[in-house]
Amino acid sequence: MRIRPFRLERYFAVREFGAQYSLASSDCESLVQAELLAMADGECLGLWEGLSLGYTETPGAPFLRCEIAGLYDGIDPEYVLVTVPVEGIFIAMNSILDRGDHVICTFPGYQALYEVAVAIGCEVERWTAQEERGWRFDPDWLHERVRPETRLIAVNFPHNPTGFLPGREDFEHMVATARSCGAYFFSDEMYRHLELEPERRLPPACDLYDRAVSLGGMSKSFGMPGVRIGWLATRDRELLARMAGLKDYTTICASAPSEVLATIALRCRERIIARNLALIQANLELLRGFFARRGVMFAWNEPSAGTVAFPRMLAHGDADGFCDDMYAKAGVMLLPASAFEYGDRHFRIGFGRRNMPEALATFEEHLPDTGV
Ligand SMILES: Cc1ncc(COP(=O)(O)O)c(C=O)c1O
């Protein structure tokens, strides 16, 4: 397979570990291992102490799949396949799609969600968010664009990079559209649980539709990207078997220590999510003040969920130059829209990290005094 470079990952590879501050990241402040182990119950501590560093079961350790199934209403542990999060996208796309298939994917977005389909030779149609309507994805547009040969609709809510979260009615309309033409519905739910108003949390797609696949993981909402644990959940047994078969060619099984660490975190998920939401709420308050002060320079749609926003630049040239300058002069890393192939007027700003107030202050110090 020939696949184009992953623009966001290439941008991070060059800058992430050299930046003094990252305002580009989309994960929540990472947990420290000692902090996590201090939350472990007796059973998990036993698993940790007695851990064998051998191969684990290929679909994922039973105790972990059991915790994951608990996040859903209609998913039994055997409907869960543990993968690295981005691997889950790769595996699902390769299990569902063939050359020539019609695919619709939310755009701008996490590149793997459409690029794997492009590499397979699919006809990929971009479903563009409406910035002037708070980055809404219009379900009526989707309904009009599907055809009998549409094989897959791929969405990501809460959405990276805009922070958009559809209302339940819109989301159910999207799923109904997939059902109406028999398409698969791939739902990237990596930022689920980070809704600023928890009552707006969407039901997982795999609970709504038999041909839906939900992607979840520990990287974003749980602040554990380093464990590299994610999962695919679907009630489509035949698809699940195909995805499991492909995993034999990628990672075979997950890392044994990571499976235990993820299990510990899922067992005390309420505490971890509450910690992360509190951090996000506080940081978002600072961003509100920032964008109010800097309204001549930037326009933004406030996010409804997740850890990122996608402001538009009203001055200061192109986003690539602006982000490069900020990195060189202030040591602050932002992510220009070119990483999303979305022109040169926007950048992604992340607010899930503990040092975000300091990073934002440094960013602002390096903006012109005039506010323009
Ligand atoms: C929407 C979305 N899906 C999937 C992933 C993949 O997660 P990971 O990097 O942990 O594999 C990311 C990571 O940025 C993401 O933003």
The answer to whether position 157 is within a domain reads: yes
CA 156 to ligand 1: nearest atom? 1
Q: How far is the CA of 293 from the centre of ligand 1 (A)?
A: 32
pLDDT at residue 370, rounded to an integer = 57
- Please name the residue whose Cα sits nearest to atom 5 of ligand 1: 86
Considering the domain boundaries, does residue 109 fall inside one?
A: yes
Band (371; pLDDT cuts 50, 70, 90)? very low
Q: Which domain holds residue 123?
A: 52-268
Probe residue for ligand 1, chosen from 219, 229, 348 as the CB with the greatest number of ligand atoms within 8 Å: 219
Domain assignment of residue 206, yes or no: yes
Query: Is there a single domain that holds both residue 250 and residue 319?
Result: no
Contacts of 243 (CB under 8 A, 6+ apart): 81, 91, 92, 95, 232
Note whether 288 and 358 are same-domain residues: yes
What's the structural domain count of the chain?
2
Residues 114 and 173 occupy one common structural domain: yes
CATH code where residue 159 lies: 3.40.640.10
Which run of H or of E encompasses 128? Answer: strand 123-128
Cα(79) to ligand 1 centroid in Å equals 21
Residue 127 has a pLDDT of: 98
Looking at the fold, whether 57 and 163 belong to one and the same domain comes out as yes
**Which residues contact residue 161 at a Cβ distance below 8 angstroms, ignoring those fewer than 6 apart?**
26, 108, 109, 308, 309, 310, 335, 340, 348
Same domain for 190 and 327, yes or no, is no
124 in a structural domain: yes
Residue 65 lies in a domain: yes
Cα 85 to middle of ligand 1, angstroms: 6
Whether 240 shows a pLDDT value over 80: the answer reads: yes
**For residue 144, is it within any domain?**
yes
Q: What is the pLDDT of residue 372?
A: 45
> In Å, how far are 30, 241, 262 from 256, measured between CA atoms?
20, 22, 10
CATH code for position 328: 3.90.1150.10
**Closest to 286 measured CA to CA, from 364, 194, 206:** 364
Cα distance from N-terminal residue to C-terminal residue, the chain: 46
| Cβ contacts of 319-325, under 8 Å, gap ≥ 24 | 319/344, 319/345, 319/346, 319/347, 320/344, 322/347, 323/347
pLDDT in tens, 270-292: 999 999 999 999 999 999 999 99
Ligand 1 pocket by Cβ (under 6 Å): 26, 84-86, 110, 156, 160, 188, 190, 217, 219, 225
259-275: average pLDDT: 98
Q: What CA–CA distance (Å, rounded) separates 186 from 44?
A: 32
pLDDT beyond 50 at 171: yes
Alpha helices in 268-347 (DSSP H): 269-293, 319-330
Same domain flag for 250 and 274: no
Question: pLDDT at residue 313 above 60?
Answer: yes
Strands 184-188 and 150-156: parallel
**132 and 249 share one domain:** yes
Res 316: pLDDT: 75
- Residue 237 sits in the same domain as residue 306: no
Among 236, 268, 300, the domain boundary falls at 268
Residue 181, pLDDT score:
96
Confidence of residue 223 (pLDDT cuts 50, 70, 90): very high
Ligand 1 centre to CA of 161 (Å) is 11
Q: Which atom of ligand 1 is nearest to the CA of 86?
A: 11
Nearest atom (ligand 1) to Cα of 85? 11
Pair 147, 247 in one domain? yes
Q: Provide the pLDDT confidence category of residue 264 given band limits of 50, 70 and 90.
A: very high
Residue 178 is assigned to a structural domain of this protein: yes
* Rounded distance between C-alpha atoms, residue 178 and residue 150, angstroms: 9
Q: Which of 30, 91, 186, 220 to mutate for ligand 1's pocket (most ligand atoms within 8 Å of CB)? A: 220
Which of 268, 284, 312 marks a domain boundary?
Answer: 268
What pLDDT, on the 0 to 100 scale, is given for residue 295? 95
User: Which secondary structure element, helix H or strand E, spans residue 171, and what is its range?
Assistant: helix 168-181
Whether 306 is covered by a domain: the verdict is yes
Same domain, 116 and 254: yes
Sheet holding 308-309, edge to edge: 308-309, 347-350, 335-336
pLDDT band at 24 (very low <50, low <70, confident <90, very high): very high
Average pLDDT over residues 118-125: 98
Band of pLDDT at residue 368, cut at 50, 70 and 90: confident
Q: Are residues 156 and 250 in the same domain?
A: yes
What residues contact 198, with CB distance under 8 A and at least 6 apart? none
In the reported structure, the alpha carbon of residue 26 is separated from the centroid of ligand 1 by a whole-number distance in angstroms of 9
Q: For the residues 145-173, what does the mean pLDDT come to?
A: 98
Residue where a domain stops, chosen among 268, 291, 315? 268
Task: Please give the average per-residue pLDDT across 321-328, as a whole number.
Answer: 96
Asked if 12 and 125 sit in the same domain, the reply is: no
Is the confidence at residue 315, as pLDDT, over 90?
no
Residue having the nearest C-alpha atom to atom 15 of ligand 1: 110
